[in-house]
Structure 1
Amino acid sequence: MWFRRKSSKSTAPKLRPHPVREPMLTAESEPTLRRVRLPVDLLQRGMNIIKLDRPWTEVPVLFQGFILCDDAQAEILRQYCDWVLVEDEEERLNPIMDRMVDLKELASTPLPETCSLAEELPRAREAWTQGQSFIDKVTRDIASGEELDFDQARPFIQQCVESIQANASAMFWMSRIKSRDSYTAEHCLRVAIFSIAFARFIGVPDNDLEIVGMCGLLHDLGKLKVPESILNKPGELTAEEAEAMRAHTTLGYQLLREDRKLDPIISDVSSHHHERIDGQGYPHQLADWQISRFARLVSIVDAFDAITSDRCYRDGLSTSEAMSILYKNRGQQFDAGMVEAFIRMIGVYPPGSLVELSSGEVALVVATHPGRKLKPRVEILLDANKNPTPPRVVDLGTQTGNTSADTEIAHPLADGAFGISLRGRIQQLTANAFTHAL
């Protein structure tokens, strides 16, 4: 059996063994120690880590049981685990346990915004262009046998993180502009973007978002070494071709492991994003407890984008169809809790979708709300007669719901319907921002 610990032992931060703390007792006070199962996103320094949600050998730590003494140790646990058993003084644990309610509620509230979509789009567009340049360079370097420098991806990922923290819908809009001929490159960019947003949505600390983005960006790196005749074959793959395609997980792992500057979780995700919760995935048929948290996260985003994208051999499915597939396969192929959270984040009408309202007006979806999947925030661009109208943003979810005059989405439209395209609207908004800057 293959264990991640063996491949990442040399790069893992050394965790010093520490005996279980025995509090000093006095006549005046007697600290009470308590053991609780804590979500990894709530870990704090000084906690005594007693047990993980998986065998110790499945996480790149050197000892079984230790005092959490620095951020690097907590980061490793957040990458691989969902929860750990900790021991600490009850007085210190109580306020942390209170935060568990807030953590659960995060996945029921919209991603926070610090600026409008129009304000954020120029930076999002610049980041997208920067990401395309990186993927193009990596593709050329692999083809020519040049040494790969993955640090060049960090400026793009950092811009993505900053943009998503400001207004995630701007990057979501950029990710909906797809080219059938550039699937592999654009797929990597989209998975990076949605992985960052999804991690933030479920409460992963901001300090971890760059690593999550790098995992998403490089998860399919091995496909750049798969022959194009197989990668872009319009028909069904033969058994040999399918095997060569599945080998992209191992090829990507090998490429990423050569760069010792990269966090080991990045190569882990590249190797394991096609593993399944039921143990029927590849390349190692891992059990659910052997699949890292970040690999489970990226696998959902990877599948969603693959399902909704046009490929050389088929057209992409709608968002609702993709959500049905993910939901049907929760607990078998995908982590059930993560699938349900991802569906809440994306919504029925993702940002960038073109829709016709019950009023006859035509609008682009600006942002979704996890608690109001059918009532997103929209920007109305055409009136009921399909004539251009001054753009105005309307939150369909804040209507009273007590009057027949309330507007709702009648049905989705294909991009470009009635002369409205997402690409055209992005160009308008970014051009306006540039003009105003002058």
Structure 2
Amino acid sequence: MSFKDHPGNGQVPPTAAGRAGARTETFLHRARIPVDLLQLGMRVVQLDRPWNDVPVLFQGFTLSTPEEAKVLRQYCSWVVVEDEETKLAPVLSKIPQLRQKTTEPMPETRTLEQEFPRAKETWSRTQDFVDKITVDIIENNTLELGQARTLIKSCVESVKANASAMLWMGRIKNRDAYTAEHCLRVAVYAIAFARFLGMPDEDIETAGMCGLLHDLGKLKVPSAILNKPGPLTPDEYVIMQSHTTHGFNLLKQDESLEPIIRDVTLHHHERVDGHGYPTHLPESQISRFARLISIVDTYDAITSDRCYRDGRSPAEALKILYQNRGQQFDADFVEAFIRMIGIYPPGTLVELNTGEVAWVVSTHPGRKLKPKVEIVLDKNRHRMTPYILDLSLQTTEDGEVREIRTPLPDGAYGITINERIHN
């Protein structure tokens, strides 16, 4: 038996092997593939990190159970597999399609208006759940997390139908309920992002669970430190950092949770340059899901109002993420997240160069400055019958190209997102 590499796919050199027979030879090829394309029966010979950093039993093994494939998807971004060329070819042909997912809008099966009622109900039920476990943590009650997966499934179904509806819900923020609302928003962002990346539904749900539960440890941090308006002292910063360990210990109460959820709770503040906390993990030891949650967690923290400061704009948050890619954050994930969320995320109120005022309805990864909008005020700032306009396609009657001039704060010209959602 001899080996050949599949050309042009970044494969590693093969190892030697003996002949299978005197007259015939089977050529085995090695190919690097994204973990989301793993299939049962594939022989995995290399990971994108040391074998000891992934909870698998063997170094080099044939995938025999869905659970083994799921673990690799949670911790790794790519693996090297080995098989006959005819068996690898169909898998390799899917790589361009998987990459293309992050250059196209997420498919929708329902309009924004059709999905709003379900999104509102799902958001409300999940918010009630987070509020309950918040009280349980503060009062040292036993955590009951059994309902979490069912609620996250409902969030996933809504996002699959029309992601913008749930993203709109996340634009309504109460600065006095930051931690609870933050967990819910991060769950929704994580679900949308995982879907945008092309993850299987099972992993999309798990990403949502990671987001929902990742910051519960902050409820064990004294509010004087959690809400301090000025810089933390070194001692206070140590106490703040302890929220990851508190969260990890809280989730140990529920043995039914997947280990990756506790991993994310503990490690979502690790940095790819090794300067994060609590354990200064190198990049190779930070799980794929922890790297994903760290980005959406930071984005929501930057854009959210706190009791001591106003949130910054989405554009500013994306600039911070981009500037810190490859140092604090996974560079590929940052670039994909920016494509998904857009410079003007769904639910943003904007003023056009015509003077018209509109809501951003949805974004396009390839046209971040030209989203689909809903015009609600004419150029004289008068209310009008709303209508949808794709800025990448439409022009005014005199041929002038409509563009976004500036984002507006919620409430500008008497237009509020709460009124729009509950209209």
> Per the shorter chain, which TM-score range?
over 0.9
C-alpha distance in 1 between matches for 2:230 and 2:98: 45
Contact 2:396 2:402 in 1 (8 A): no
- Alignment partner, residue 11 of structure 2: none
C-alpha distance in 2 between matches for 1:89 and 1:23: 15
**Aligned with 2:377 (options 382, 395, 402):** 382
C-alpha distance in 1 between matches for 2:375 and 2:274: 47
The yes-or-no answer on 1:86 pairing with 2:81 is yes
1:21 to partner: Cα distance: 10
* Structure 2 counterparts to residues 216-255 of structure 1, below 5 A: 216-255=211-250
Q: CA 1:408 to 1:70, structure 2 compared with 1: closer, same or farther past 3 Å? A: same
C-alpha distance in 2 between matches for 1:380 and 1:395: 10
- Alignment partner, residue 36 of structure 2: 41
The yes-or-no answer on 1:150 pairing with 2:145 is yes
- Alignment partner, residue 170 of structure 1: 165
- Alignment partner, residue 5 of structure 2: none
Contact 2:371 2:390 in 1 (8 A): yes
C-alpha distance in 2 between matches for 1:168 and 1:64: 39
**Structure 2, unaligned runs of 5 or more:** 1-15
* Structure 2 counterparts to residues 209-288 of structure 1, below 5 A: 209-288=204-283
* Structure 1 runs (4+) greater than 6 angstroms displaced: 20-24, 400-403
Contact 1:25 1:31 in 2 (8 A): no
Instruction: Name the aligned partner's letter for residue 297 of structure 2.
Output: D
- Identity across the alignment (%): 60
- Alignment partner, residue 311 of structure 1: 306
C-alpha distance in 1 between matches for 2:247 and 2:196: 27
1:26 to partner: Cα distance: 9.3
* Structure 2 counterparts to residues 183-198 of structure 1, below 5 A: 183-198=178-193
* Structure 2 counterparts to residues 6-405 of structure 1, below 5 A: 30-399=25-394, 404-405=399-400
Deviations 1:337-359 (A, max 9, x none): 11011111111110000011122
Deviations 1:164-203 (A, max 9, x none): 0000000000001001101101100000000111111111
1:126 to partner: Cα distance: 0.9
- Across the two proteins, how many residue pairs are aligned to each other? 408
C-alpha distance in 2 between matches for 1:332 and 1:280: 9
1:227 to partner: Cα distance: 1.6
C-alpha distance in 2 between matches for 1:160 and 1:172: 11
C-alpha distance in 1 between matches for 2:316 and 2:220: 31
- Alignment partner, residue 433 of structure 1: none
C-alpha distance in 2 between matches for 1:139 and 1:186: 11
Question: SS in structure 1 opposite 2:350?
Answer: strand
TM-score, normalised on structure 1? 0.90
Deviations 1:190-246 (A, max 9, x none): 000001111111111122111100001111011111122221223332222211110
Question: SS in structure 1 opposite 2:359?
Answer: strand
Deviations 1:8-55 (A, max 9, x none): xxxxxxxxxxxx99996696x754321111110110110001111111
Question: SS in structure 2 opposite 1:374?
Answer: coil
Contact 1:34 1:87 in 2 (8 A): yes
Q: CA 1:26 to 1:427, structure 2 compared with 1: closer, same or farther past 3 Å? A: farther
Contact 2:143 2:253 in 1 (8 A): no
1:92 to partner: Cα distance: 1.2
C-alpha distance in 2 between matches for 1:252 and 1:131: 19
Question: SS in structure 1 opposite 2:230?
Answer: coil
C-alpha distance in 1 between matches for 2:17 and 2:389: 56
Contact 2:395 2:402 in 1 (8 A): no
- Alignment partner, residue 9 of structure 1: none
Instruction: Name the aligned partner's letter for residue 189 of structure 1.
Output: L
**Structure 1, unaligned runs of 5 or more:** 1-19, 429-438
C-alpha distance in 1 between matches for 2:158 and 2:105: 15
Question: SS in structure 1 opposite 2:147?
Answer: helix
- Alignment partner, residue 420 of structure 1: 415
Question: SS in structure 2 opposite 1:260?
Answer: coil
C-alpha distance in 1 between matches for 2:112 and 2:26: 51
Question: SS in structure 2 opposite 1:277?
Answer: coil
Deviations 1:321-344 (A, max 9, x none): 111111110000000111011111
C-alpha distance in 2 between matches for 1:120 and 1:23: 59
1:402 to partner: Cα distance: 13
Greater share of helix: 1
Contact 2:104 2:366 in 1 (8 A): yes
1:399 to partner: Cα distance: 3.2
